[in-house]
């Protein structure tokens, strides 16, 4: 069953990007996500440019198309063309009116609630300080929307042969180390592991970034100190490892373990970037895949693997998570520049203060070469932050970043269209929810 909304999105995508999208053959033996070796066939890098990036010379938004080559281990290369000039046809994103009423969180809410309750039990510890710290972001009221568990269960439903039985709405309080053989419970375990890894990464990030707030409250490191915060993150990763091991599936263990490798690699890439790498869009997007999109992508693939589906379907599920993850982070980077701390629940301009140039900043630097000097010295001199914001606002860097996020959301919707024929009305609803999630991602304010 093909919804009208998906069909329109597919046509709009084909019309917008046919002229700039290319493909190449699969490459074996790639052990790391060499994301985005970008080329611009018709442009040459000019040595006199004040600011250059490795994907092309300095070009205006409308002068050339650029192709971002993407890859991952055991997956085919896919060419993704970056939109140039103006915004992507907003009609394409707004046309799915027939599914706009779908609340993606409501579709799997009973299961996500059960997963959340199981998480609160699983992070308990006999060591009081560790128990308090580990439970910090799993308490009711500060747990967030549970985006990642929701996406995992939506993909599980989208691929399922039958709707989930109501018994899976109940909380499963079996120990983390106890194996479970029910497919739906095993997929719920993937959602649980995803959230544990995500929260652990937040705890570690807040220490690295010296953040004082998270989700509108004091960050854990500001409450109990850096050492306990880091150890609490390690404890959550240990709990995730126990749950992962209980699945008794080596392919799933490899997939989910790879996320941890990428998370660390992405953070190291950011911390050790050379001056030229800080100006490189390729480097930024590879880092973004590692730090954000790899978690969503590998979790999507994991539920497809558990479902016993073909490698092609597993790759499609992975691609949905990758595109959505890249779009999520690009939007996050835009909000860091345009949002307020009170709405974001964390400090605004945090990236600039940390010396990190994100997509909107890199796009702005193509039009405002003075930004390159500020980027190279990581905005550390007096007045750099204010001047950077001024230069960004005088460019269309923010809009171009939004366009790039829209493009990845369109690609994510296209991946949903590419899934096998749905087996039930619930699978249709879940697929509609996965598409609506791309709309909500673009419209989010925090």
Give the whole-angstrom CA distance, residue 220 versus residue 232.
9
The CATH number linked to 178 is 1.10.600.10
Residue 23 lies in a domain: no
pLDDT > 90: percent of the chain = 61
pLDDT at 92 over 80: no
Residue 244 lies in a domain: yes
In a domain, 148, yes or no: yes
Three-state DSSP state, 111: helix
pLDDT of 54 higher than 80: no
Residue 258 lies in a domain: yes
Between 366 and 96, the more confident residue is: 366
| Two tokens, residue 66 | 């650029």
Instruction: For residues 280 and 375, give the distance between their C-alpha atoms in angstroms, rounded to a whole number.
Output: 11
The three-class DSSP label of residue 346 is: coil
Most confident listed range (33-42, 53-62, 390-399): 390-399
* CA–CA distances in Å: residue 310 to residues 159, 301, 316, 419, 443: 11, 11, 10, 11, 34
Task: Give a yes or no: residue 56 inside a domain.
Answer: no
Strands 37-39 and 213-214: what pairing?
A: unpaired
- Domains: count for the chain: 1
Distance (Å, whole) CA 408 – CA 57: 23
**What is the tens place of the pLDDT at every residue in 305-355?**
999 999 999 999 999 999 999 999 999 999 999 987 556 555 678 899 999
What is the structure's pLDDT at 142?
Answer: 59
Q: Residues with Cβ < 8 Å from 258, sequence gap 6 or more?
A: 73, 294, 298
pLDDT at 368: 97
Average pLDDT over residues 282-291: 97
Over residues 267-282, the mean pLDDT reads 95
Question: Would you say residue 49 has pLDDT above 60?
Answer: no
Residue that has been written with the tokens 């046509």 in this structure: 11
Tracing tokens 């915060």 back to the chain, one arrives at 229
On whether residue 42 sits in a domain, the answer given is no
Instruction: Kindly list the distances between the CA atom of residue 232 and the CA atoms of 134, 226, 262, in Å, as whole numbers in the listed order.
Output: 5, 10, 20
Residue 324 located in a structural domain: yes
For the ranges 273-277, 340-344, 410-414, which has the lowest average pLDDT?
340-344
Report if residue 198 sits inside a domain: yes
Q: What's the CA angle centered on 243, arms 238 and 244, to 5 degrees?
A: 90
Domain that holds residue 103: 90-443
- Counted residue by residue, the chain has a size of 446
When pLDDT is cut at 50, 70 and 90, the band that residue 196 belongs to is very high
Would you place residue 63 in the very low, low, confident or very high pLDDT band (cuts 50, 70, 90)? very low
> CB under 8 Å, gap of 24 or more: what pairs does 377-381 form?
378/278, 379/352, 379/353, 379/355, 380/355
């Amino acid at each position: 069953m093909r919804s009208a909304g998906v069909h329109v999105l597919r046509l709009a995508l084909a019309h917008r990007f046919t002229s700039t999208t290319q493909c190449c053959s699969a490459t074996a033996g790639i052990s790391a996500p060499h994301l985005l070796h970008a080329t611009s066939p018709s442009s040459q890098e000019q040595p006199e440019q004040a600011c250059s990036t490795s994907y092309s010379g300095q070009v205006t938004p409308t002068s050339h198309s650029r192709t971002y080559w993407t890859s991952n281990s055991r997956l085919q290369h896919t060419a993704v063309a970056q939109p140039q000039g103006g915004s992507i046809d907003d009609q394409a994103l707004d046309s799915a009116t027939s599914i706009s009423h779908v609340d993606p969180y409501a579709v799997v809410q009973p299961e996500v609630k059960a997963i959340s309750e199981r998480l609160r039990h699983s992070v308990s510890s006999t060591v009081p300080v560790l128990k308090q710290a580990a439970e910090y972001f799993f308490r009711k009221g500060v747990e967030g929307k549970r985006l990642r568990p929701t996406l995992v269960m939506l993909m599980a439903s989208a691929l399922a042969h039958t709707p989930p039985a109501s018994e899976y709405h109940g909380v499963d309080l079996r120990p983390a180390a106890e194996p479970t053989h029910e497919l739906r419970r095993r997929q719920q375990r993937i959602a649980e592991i995803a959230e544990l890894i995500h929260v652990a990464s937040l705890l570690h990030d807040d220490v690295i970034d010296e953040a004082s707030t998270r989700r509108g409250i004091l960050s854990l490191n500001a409450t109990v100190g850096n050492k306990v915060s880091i150890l609490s993150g390690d404890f959550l990763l240990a709990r995730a490892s126990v749950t992962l091991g209980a699945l008794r599936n080596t392919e799933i263990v490899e997939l989910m373990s790879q996320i941890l490798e990428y998370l660390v690699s992405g953070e190291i890439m950011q911390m050790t970037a050379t001056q030229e790498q800080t100006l490189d869009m390729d480097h930024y997007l590879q880092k973004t895949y590692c730090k954000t999109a790899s978690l969503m992508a590998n979790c999507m693939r994991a539920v497809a693997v558990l479902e016993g589906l073909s490698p092609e379907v597993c790759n499609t599920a992975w691609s949905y998570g990758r595109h959505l993850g890249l779009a999520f982070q690009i939007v996050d980077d835009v909000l860091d520049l345009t949002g307020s701390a009170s709405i974001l629940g964390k400090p605004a301009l945090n990236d600039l203060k940390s010396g990190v140039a994100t997509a909107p900043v890199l796009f702005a630097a193509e039009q405002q070469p003075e930004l390159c000097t500020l980027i190279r010295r990581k905005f550390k001199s007096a007045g750099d932050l204010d001047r950077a914001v001024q230069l960004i606002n005088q460019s269309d860097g923010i809009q171009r970043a939004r366009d790039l996020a829209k493009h990845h959301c369109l690609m994510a919707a296209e991946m949903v269209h590419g899934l096998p024929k749905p087996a039930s009305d619930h699978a249709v609803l879940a697929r509609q929810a996965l598409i609506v999630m791309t709309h909500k991602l673009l419209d989010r304010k925090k």
